[in-house]
Structure 1
């Protein structure tokens, strides 16, 4: 089942979950599962709240709730950059359930490369040296949907956009995943998608943010308080208003490490 299938959200919300394995690289309990309902079957990711590690800088709510809030924001904006995601009960208690996204083999959108291997048109983010002392470049594709994802990250104040969280799906679309540390009231933007610094955001992003702002006033804001504090919802509104007034990709600041570590 594709993330764009209208039945996908109902499947992740109502389907029977069967745990098949654990994604061991994740810092919190992340389970790979099968999910089925009325003949429909798919794979999903299930992150129970009981498996979350407490974070001193994100003391409110749950990481699972922030993932769901990010999905709601993406959908309300009409961007559809986050796979169908719900908060529901599962085999190990309540948590986040998200449709699994199959990706294109060998078609990464973010990579660490030697300077000569950076594909034409890619955006260079950081120059460094690898463990052998050889030059290396962190870069990402100059892809329209990656640009929209970078704009969404500004709105949701994503504190952990790693390269592995940017998925080029087999349906040709781009999706972002792992949004457990987003939507804080304080500025915490940390991402590998800095390639458009200082440039105007695309018209599609500006239109989406206007749509999102209207949705918040029409009831989305209250719905988000199920997962966020009211101060965090107000900060989201302020970020949207600021971008509508001046739709430009921000510069990194010295107040916060700009790139997550590890970057993947």
Structure 2
């Protein structure tokens, strides 16, 4: 049976349309190989808009690097993602998650509530203006899946964890997508998942981070592959972030040197 990674890597891509609301070129495709088919997203490097703080033409590689780190944690939080040639040149190709909740970005994981307390089962993020001189408290679910994603984002230095980047698949699986602005050597963590800031990391997270530290050691397969996708300084920064999390044993807090919440948040 053809694995989804082999299918995405070797299959023939047929472009079916463009996802118009995306800031970069995002093409919905069908991929076929050896009798197997799947839907996928193809983001060609040529369709990437230049950013002032990230080198041009590197977003696709960063998406693949995020997938590799996610797989190394064992949490499987990022859909299968590969780097390959396509109809419009090299780009990243990612498995499309069927049945994901998309009508409301973030699904039931994010909410705005009145008052100053988040309520049972929710974690506070920040107050937001909602018009008419009123404010509401932005909250996210106190959910183990989100907490794992918050740890992953801290490791890969995700500068853009928006509500619309959370996909809930059938069966309770949670995925994070859109990881083009990750792995910067400077602290750029911007996320809606600040609810655990300053709290102790779970024992599960500490175990995963300890394993990840070993996989990031020089010469290890993961480190070697990441070295082909991000710069040496960025790889060193990943190692430093993992070591820092293991040293402090706590979820990071906003640094104050960079906006802590992405805009727009959805």
Which bracket does the TM-score occupy, shorter chain normalised?
over 0.9
Whole-angstrom CA distance in 2 between matches of 1:25 and 1:165: 13
Change (3 A) 1:184 1:109: farther
Q: CA deviation at 1:110?
A: 3.7
Residue in structure 2 matching 1:15, options 2, 11, 20: 11
Whole-angstrom CA distance in 2 between matches of 1:41 and 1:141: 35
Q: CA deviation at 1:114?
A: 3.5
Larger displacement relative to structure 2 (228-237 or 238-247): 238-247
Residue in structure 1 matching 2:65, options 64, 69, 75: 69
2:36 counterpart of 1:40: yes
Count matched residues: 260
1:75-86 map, 5 Å: 75-86=71-82
Q: CA deviation at 1:86?
A: 0.3
Change (3 A) 1:34 1:119: farther
Q: CA deviation at 1:118?
A: 6.4
1:193-232 map, 5 Å: 193-217=193-217, 218-232=220-234
Whole-angstrom CA distance in 2 between matches of 1:93 and 1:58: 20
Whole-angstrom CA distance in 2 between matches of 1:234 and 1:135: 41
Residue in structure 2 matching 1:53, options 38, 43, 49: 49
Whole-angstrom CA distance in 2 between matches of 1:241 and 1:176: 23
Q: Which residue of 2 aligns with 1:127?
A: 127
Q: Which residue of 2 aligns with 1:113?
A: 112
Contact 1:79 1:208 (C-alpha < 8 Å) held by counterparts: no
Q: Which residue of 1 aligns with 2:173?
A: 173
Whole-angstrom CA distance in 2 between matches of 1:244 and 1:137: 31
Q: TM-score scaled by structure 2?
A: 0.92
Aligned to 2:242, the other structure's residue is in SS state helix
2:97 counterpart of 1:98: no
Q: TM-score scaled by structure 1?
A: 0.92
Q: Which residue of 2 aligns with 1:137?
A: 137
Contact 1:60 1:228 (C-alpha < 8 Å) held by counterparts: no
Unaligned runs of 5+ in 2: none
Contact 1:61 1:228 (C-alpha < 8 Å) held by counterparts: no
2:236 counterpart of 1:234: yes
Unaligned runs of 5+ in 1: none
Contact 1:126 1:139 (C-alpha < 8 Å) held by counterparts: yes
Whole-angstrom CA distance in 1 between matches of 2:157 and 2:2: 28
Larger displacement relative to structure 2 (64-73 or 95-104): 95-104
- Cα deviation code 1:47-70 (max 9, x no counterpart): 000000111201266100000001
Larger displacement relative to structure 2 (132-141 or 86-95): 132-141
Q: CA deviation at 1:129?
A: 2.0
Larger displacement relative to structure 2 (36-45 or 87-96): 36-45
Aligned to 2:228, the other structure's residue is in SS state coil
Whole-angstrom CA distance in 1 between matches of 2:132 and 2:4: 46
Change (3 A) 1:132 1:44: farther
Contact 2:64 2:81 (C-alpha < 8 Å) held by counterparts: yes
